[in-house]
Chains A and B, each alone.
Chain A
Amino acid sequence: SQTIHQWPATLVQPVGSPLSLECTVEGTSNPNLYWYRQAAGRGLQLLFYSVGIGQISSEVPQNLSASRPQDRQFILSSKKLLLSDSGFYLCAWTRDREAFFGQGTRLTVV
């Protein structure tokens, strides 16, 4: 069966510090991978999606970036965090258009 792992579960980072969130999928190959952000009181905002290694599509211009160094690994990064980067970050993969989500990372920028 397929599983998706996302870590860490919670993170508190100072403004201006770097960020690296990792997501890995097991039990499938060549998945479509996604990063979403859920800010307090708001819906899910699609940040990045990837259909293959090294292929990243950015949906919203911002100080975040994504990379896919391996088939089942998707990384969300920032060189310098802003207060507005606080939120709940969700990684997902899709099969037949159905999305399967990780448990999320609660990021608080202080």
Chain B
Amino acid sequence: AQSVTQLGSHVSVSEGALVLLRCNYSSSVPPYLFWYVQYPNQGLQLLLKYTTGATLVKGINGFEAEFKKSETSFHLTKPSAHMSDAAEYFCAVSERSSASKIIFGSGTRLSIRP
């Protein structure tokens, strides 16, 4: 069965510093992988996704993530944090062989220090 693990329920970085949010997955075959962002009291919106091809995926707001099959990871990074990046971030996985079901990680709350 597929699953997603996000290490660190809360990450705090200084404005301008590197953002690194970790995500590891468990799946029988390389799945589709996603990062979503959620602002307070709102639904989730897609930051980026990996389906096939290039393993480094670029998303909105300067975020990117790299699919590493050998490490079963899909960590999210941003070179320089901005105050507006403060939100909750969710990693998600969907198996290629499944007709549906998207499984989300437990989320990481990102705080930005001035």
Q: Are A43 and B100 in contact (CB under 8 A)?
A: no
Chain A: how many interface residues by the 8 Å CB criterion?
Answer: 24
Task: Give the interface of A toward B (CB within 8 A).
Answer: 6, 32, 34, 36, 41-44, 46, 49, 51, 88, 90, 92, 94, 96-99, 101-104, 106
Which secondary structure dominates where chain A touches chain B? strand
B residues bordering A, Cβ < 8 Å?
Answer: 6, 9, 32, 34, 36, 41-46, 49, 51, 90, 92, 94, 99-107
Q: Is there an interface contact between B43 and A90, defined as CB atoms closer than 8 Å?
A: yes
Known: A34-B102, A43-B107, A44-B90. A98 touches B49 (CB 8 A): yes
Knowing A99-B102, A104-B42 touch, does A43 contact B49 (C-beta < 8 A)?
A: no
A103/B42 in contact, CB under 8 A: yes
Q: Which residues of B contact A51 (CB under 8 A)?
A: 99-100
Asked, given contacts A99-B46, A101-B43, A102-B43, whether A44 binds B100 with beta carbons under 8 Å apart, the answer is: no
* Bound Cα distance from A101 to B94, whole angstroms: 16
- Assembled-state Cα–Cα distance A46/B9 (Å): 19
In the complex, residue of chain B having the shortest beta-carbon distance to the beta carbon of A103: B43
